[in-house]
Structure 1
Amino acid sequence: MKVLSIQSAVAYGHVGNSAAVFPLQRIGVEVLPVYTVNFSNHTGYGAWRGPLIAPDDVRAVITGVEERGVFPSIDVVLSGYQGGVGIGDVIVDAARRVKEANPSAIYACDPVMGNAKSGCFVAPEIPDLLRDRVVPVADIITPNQFELGYLTGTEPGDLESTLASVDAARAMGPSTVLVTSVERPDRDPETIEMLAADDKGAWIVRTPLLPLKANGSGDVTAALFTAHYSATGDASVALERTASSVFDLIEATYRSGQRELQLVETQEAYAHPRMQFTAERVR
């Protein structure tokens, strides 16, 4: 499998491509990383250095890859945090060009906007850009529960309303939806869930909730789920493998006492997931 991953990059820590690339490589995926920003660290620190990369420069890098004759062999275009407004058009155009070269390729979009605790943390124009122009052309989207609500204009809460929100998202264009950070009011408060749905049904997986804000864990989740789903065509298997790997990553980070993901230290969890969680069919 070959993935063109268009995301942010940081020198210190693990978010964006700096979180997604290594786990994908560890499960045998060839990754072509294209950077949308090149920051010293993620913005959660409140201070960082380095440039947003101009959309034309990002497009030039992608065009250079295309000129090497690589597009027919790309299986997945993956995108995450979009630092500026113009980058959305570059990503959509790249997905279109890859699909023209390889009609079986897919586009997976992690529509990064924010979360229930912090609200939106991207530029004000980004949420509408994602909703109106990017998500409709994606095959897979991986929003968290907060982002799912924004994209669909709904209020996902319990299982029924979350499934209704997923249906609304799938009606926008994507055939497959992974919802992360699902916090249903009737769940065990010491747990957190992920839900995946496609044409074959819907499944939910439950893991312990750890008291840690793990920047970059969503990027790892989106990358691993996309790769596993693309390889197997089975949302439940992809969900179980991803939940197993990401939980072990977050648990190792929590136990380390460090703020940044222990991405390299936990590499066996990607290559050989313990499969300690079972996805439950909910539709």
Structure 2
Amino acid sequence: MECRILSIQSHVVRGYVGNKSATFPLQVLGFEVDSINSVQFSNHTGYAHWKGQVLTAEELNELYEGIKLNKVNRYDYILTGYCKDKSFLEVVVSIIQELKKATPGLVYVCDPVMGDHGLLYVPENLLPVYKNEVVPLADILTPNQFEAELLTGRKIKTEDDAVEVMDLLHEMGPDTVVLTSTDLPSKHGDQFLVALGSQKTRNPDGTSSSMKICMDIPQVDAVFVGTGDLFAAMLLAWTHHHPKDLKTAFEKTVSVMQHVVKRTFTYANEMAGPGNRPSAAQLELRMIQSKADIENPSVVVEAKVLQKSSHQKK
């Protein structure tokens, strides 16, 4: 069966971020992707210079109206990432509400990009929209620790705190929550990042089950852009292929990331030469070169199951 995604994210002419980071890997895995570009920039903003345009809420609405008038507004998935304007985000919400009404099984994957390490990237007035309107619509949510804390009002200092925060996020709407990065210490040392996931599954017979997992992810000493967008896209793809098995979906997602990042790191260092730090251009993700790893990732990182439970219907 054809599986179609509406992806509303940023676009760059050169390099990989937003839709450029998500579309090719999803297409390689067999998905049809309809992209709406929230911005169109020459390159990502980590370069010394960038130029481009920002799509307004009215222009977004106009593009969606065109799709609707042709009666081709049927989607299996919606994917959203970085958005920095409140009115734009509110139009996104109304589009998702309309599409969910038209296709009850539609799955919304939301990367609530708001900030990291205590720093907001977006205006503060977006937080209530995410909290009250976006997250309740989401089926899969991929915040980092800072974003999860913002959404729930709870701090994460221990693994138990992280589990509690994921449960609070479940209560807000999403059945699958992945904390893509946390500041929790890894037992493997400083070179590893701790990520956690939680999935609630409802079975046709009325029973339900839940699973919580944890993963120590090897870190690479460089700043990559577009990795979060790739992560959300791959989580969409692999949860589609393993709908009730977050552990496998998470392992394949992170393994794709590892293959892409390591290939990029090796290439960037070769291009920069000994003793030089690679430039933003040299650190653009080696996406095309990673096609085989995206299609069939060898699992290089394993997740640990923290909790597993099943619940009978009441």
Asked if these proteins are the same fold (TM beyond 0.5), I'd say yes
Residue 26 of structure 2: aligned partner:
24
- CA distance, structure 1, for counterparts of residue 239 and residue 44 of structure 2: 28
- CA distance, structure 2, for counterparts of residue 213 and residue 219 of structure 1: 14
- CA distance, structure 1, for counterparts of residue 186 and residue 24 of structure 2: 36
Structure possessing the higher radius of gyration over alpha carbons: 2
- CA distance, structure 1, for counterparts of residue 212 and residue 180 of structure 2: 14
Q: What SS is found at the alignment partner of 1:7?
A: strand
Q: CA deviation at 1:185?
A: 2.4
* Deviation larger for 201-210 or 105-114: 201-210
TM-score (norm 2): 0.85
Partner amino acid for 2:237?
A
Residue 258 of structure 2: aligned partner:
247
Residue 127 of structure 1: aligned partner:
127
1:236 is the counterpart of 2:247: yes
- CA distance, structure 2, for counterparts of residue 182 and residue 46 of structure 1: 29
- CA distance, structure 2, for counterparts of residue 142 and residue 157 of structure 1: 19
Residue 76 of structure 1: aligned partner:
77
2:230 to 195, 203, 220: 220
- CA distance, structure 2, for counterparts of residue 62 and residue 164 of structure 1: 37
Partner amino acid for 1:242?
T
Q: CA deviation at 1:201?
A: 1.1
Q: CA deviation at 1:46?
A: 5.7
Residue 4 of structure 1: aligned partner:
6
- CA distance, structure 2, for counterparts of residue 44 and residue 153 of structure 1: 30
Residue 139 of structure 1: aligned partner:
139
Root-mean-square deviation over aligned CA pairs: 1.6
Partner amino acid for 2:142?
T
Structure 1 residues not aligned, in runs of 5+: none
Partner amino acid for 2:217?
T
Residue 113 of structure 1: aligned partner:
114
Q: CA deviation at 1:28?
A: 0.9
TM-score (norm 1): 0.94
Structure 2 residues not aligned, in runs of 5+: 201-209, 269-281, 308-314
Residue 277 of structure 2: aligned partner:
none
- CA distance, structure 2, for counterparts of residue 252 and residue 177 of structure 1: 28
Q: CA deviation at 1:111?
A: 0.3
Q: CA deviation at 1:48?
A: 1.9
1:178 is the counterpart of 2:178: yes
Q: What SS is found at the alignment partner of 2:289?
A: coil
Hey, which bits of structure 1, 4+ residues long, moved more than 4 A?
none
Partner amino acid for 1:6?
I
Q: Report % sequence identity.
A: 32
Residue 220 of structure 2: aligned partner:
210
Q: CA deviation at 1:163?
A: 0.8
- CA distance, structure 1, for counterparts of residue 260 and residue 65 of structure 2: 35
